[in-house]
Each structure stands twice: as C-alpha cells, then as structure tokens.
Amino acid sequence: MTTTEWITDIALVLVVFRQLREGRLDLKSFLIPLGIVAFVAHQYLDSIPTAGNDLVLVGVLMGVGAALGVAGGVYTRLRIVGEHVLIKAGAVSAILWVLGMGARMGFQLWTEQGGGADDVARFSAAHQITSEQAWVAAFVLMALTEVVTRLATIFIRGRLTRAAADPVPVLDGAV
C-alpha cells in the first residue's frame, strides 16, 4: 500500500471517531467524508468492468456498503439542543464504520502482502471475475455507498428530529 492509500484509509476510519464526541450536525459533517470518498473515487475508480460477473461483485459489495451505511446512520444518536441538531456516533455505529472501511484495507493488505493474491485469482477465475480492476471498483464503490447511505440516513433523521422538535402551528378557527 502506498502512503496515500494508508492516509486515505486511516482518514476514513477517523471520520467516525470524530463523531464519538457529540457535536453539531452541520455542513462539515457531510463534506469531510464526502470529500474523502470523492478523492478515493477519483484516484482509484478508472472504470467499472462489466465482463463476466464483475458487475455482480460490484453489486454485492455495494449492497454490503449500503447495509453498513444505513445501519451506521440508524445507530448514530441525534438530538436537538436549542436550535442545533447534535450528532454522536454510538459504539454500534463506530464498529460498523470500522468494519466496512477496515475490510477494504484488510483485503488490500492480504492480497498485496499476506499471500492472498493467489486465492483471489483462483476465486476470480472460478466465479468469472475478469480483472483486478473489478475488485478495486467493487471496494471503492462499497466505501462510497457506505458513506453516502450513512450520510443520507443521518440527513433524513436530522430533518425528522428537527421537524419533531418544531411546534406545530395552530390555525385560528380550526376545529
């Protein structure tokens, strides 16, 4: 793994640790993780192979990313204090985030330095996965999907939390 890959992977893992302390849900809460995954996608997502079962691999890992992202968003605590929505990642949310991001990093280490390249090559041949780029695309899109679905879940929950806290206006003459 290159220095850039290490820094990027660690930055993605640290994003959730930043939220272990309660803080305001604001634009930064969304832009920092989106910026990191946009950088990763720009660096590593040259193409999405479509031959053989490449799209199946991509779809399965994106599904895993979506499940982890939604669950992470659900297990993030949101509450209203004054005029602000506060956010705090819980233990389950942090574990899911590290699991998703760590799985990608672990897979990369295993294939590059842990002797897993031959196992992946055999698996790929047996399941008609046509290239290394299919694995790269699948894991990058898994991370992107996890981030986007987690943030979307938090955004929706934040809006619902704010709406529930706002008093309902009473109309004159209403029965």
* Residues 98-129: tens digit of each pLDDT: 888 888 888 988 998 888 999 999 999 999 99
What does the pLDDT look like over 9-47, one tens digit per residue?
777 777 777 778 899 999 988 998 898 888 888 988 888
- If you average pLDDT over residues 87-107, what whole number do you get? 87
What global pTM score does this model have? 0.85
88 neighbors 20 (Cβ within 8 angstroms) = yes
- Tokens for 16, please give them: 């959730």
Q: What is the pLDDT of residues 118-165, one digit of tens each?
A: 999 999 999 999 998 999 899 989 989 999 999 999 999 999 998 888
Q: Which residues contact 148 (CB under 8 A, 6 or more apart)?
A: 34, 37, 69
Q: How many whole angstroms separate alpha carbon 175 and alpha carbon 157?
A: 31
